[in-house]
């Protein structure tokens, strides 16, 4: 596998970002269709999440996109039942996530665990999504965004946002509690937004990096890895892009239709229509 993995070091940890590092998609947006079938979101939200998923896979996520996604997801999930979300994720996890797990990531996880390191997934997606994905790929721990819950439902407020400096701080706290020396630890990510996470360890790696992270990795001599083999089939990039653009146009048209005077909302009966 990766020749930079040290098999002689003492027990430590390896920190993996999730989206475009372990899986070839956005975990936060992966469950749009089953959430729709469960009555949690409307048609417009499905189209919007599908379009956003396509753009994420093609262009990645910078700070502006991540902040926009955080606000969107926080507003969208307000009032949802935590129990229902957990059940939907559990029922659809293998079908929606399994085919998009990078084979190279699984091999790297196995390699590090064989060297005696704990594998920790650090993701800005919600814990209800990240924890089962962590179990799926064999991770030992996860650090994920946590939403405030009251009476079994999400309030829309964020208790902890695992993003940017927040990821690095959570890693330092875990290292202190677990006795890791971060100088001996590894980290893997695709995004410039995870620069604090990568700088927190002694062995940073860029995986499928965006342009900004690639420039920094090359200037600092960090290893750059290319993961290209999801465990399941995937449509060609061109077909995905065409489908994503078509869905984006359809979503925009649906919004204009809903906004027209006297127009009926395409949102399922009993479901509130969401904003942009």
Per the residue annotation, which of 17, 45, 194, 210 is the catalytic one?
17
pLDDT at 198: 98
Look up residue 23 and give its two tokens. Answer: 């899986």
Tell me whether residue 158 is in a domain. Answer: yes
Q: Is 265 exposed, middle or buried (0-12, 13-18, 19+ CB in 10 A)?
A: middle
Q: For helices 103-114 and 127-137, give the axis angle rounded to 10 degrees.
A: 70
Look up residue 60 and give its two tokens. Answer: 């990645």
Name 217's Cβ contacts closer than 8 Å, sequence gap at least 6: 204, 206, 209, 223, 224
Tell me whether residue 270 is in a domain. Answer: no
Annotated active-site residue 6? The verdict is: no
Number of domains in the chain: 1
Residue ranges, the chain, pLDDT below 70: 1-11, 44-70, 232-276
DSSP conformation class of 192 = G
Domain that includes residue 189, residue range: 13-259
Distance between CA atoms of 58 and 49, rounded to whole angstroms?
A: 14
Q: Starting at the earlier edge strand, list the strands of the sheet with 186-189.
A: 153-160, 141-150, 118-126, 13-16, 186-189, 203-207, 224-225
- pTM of the entire predicted model: 0.74
Tell me whether residue 265 is in a domain. Answer: no
Tell me whether residue 5 is in a domain. Answer: no
Tell me whether residue 119 is in a domain. Answer: yes
Annotated active-site residue 62? The verdict is: no
Tell me whether residue 235 is in a domain. Answer: yes
Q: Longest C-alpha distance within the chain, in Å?
A: 70
pLDDT at 10: 52
Tell me whether residue 8 is in a domain. Answer: no
Specify the CATH number for the domain of residue 158: 3.40.50.1000
* 76-124 pLDDT per residue, tens: 788 899 999 999 999 999 999 999 999 999 999 999 999 999 999 999 9
pLDDT at 49: 56
Tell me whether residue 7 is in a domain. Answer: no
Per the residue annotation, which of 19, 45, 194, 210 is the catalytic one?
19
């Amino acid at each position: 596998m990766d020749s930079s993995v040290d098999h002689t070091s003492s027990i430590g940890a390896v920190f993996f970002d999730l989206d475009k590092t372990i899986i070839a998609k956005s975990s936060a947006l992966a469950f749009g269709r089953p959430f729709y079938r469960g009555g949690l979101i409307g048609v417009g939200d499905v189209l919007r999440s599908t379009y956003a998923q396509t753009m994420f896979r093609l262009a990645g996520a910078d700070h502006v996109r991540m902040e926009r996604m955080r606000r969107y997801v926080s507003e969208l999930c307000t009032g949802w039942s935590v129990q229902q979300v957990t059940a939907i994720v559990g029922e659809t996890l293998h079908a929606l996530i399994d085919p998009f797990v990078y084979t190279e990531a699984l091999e790297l996880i196995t390699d590090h665990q064989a060297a005696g390191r704990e594998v920790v997934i650090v993701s800005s997606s919600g814990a209800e999504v990240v924890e089962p994905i962590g179990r799926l790929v064999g991770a030992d721990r996860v650090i994920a965004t946590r939403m405030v819950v009251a009476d079994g439902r999400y309030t829309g407020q964020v208790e902890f946002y695992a993003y940017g400096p927040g990821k690095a701080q959570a890693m330092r706290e875990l290292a202190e509690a677990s006795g890791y020396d971060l100088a001996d630890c590894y980290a893997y990510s695709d995004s410039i937004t995870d620069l604090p996470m990568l700088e927190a360890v002694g062995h940073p790696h860029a995986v499928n990096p965006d342009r900004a992270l690639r420039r920094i990795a090359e200037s600092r001599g960090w290893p750059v890895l290319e993961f290209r083999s999801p465990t399941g089939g995937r449509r060609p990039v061109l077909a995905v892009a065409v489908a994503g653009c078509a869905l984006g146009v359809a979503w925009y048209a649906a919004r204009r239709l809903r906004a027209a005077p006297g127009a009926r909302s395409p949102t399922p009966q009993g479901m509130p229509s969401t904003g942009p």
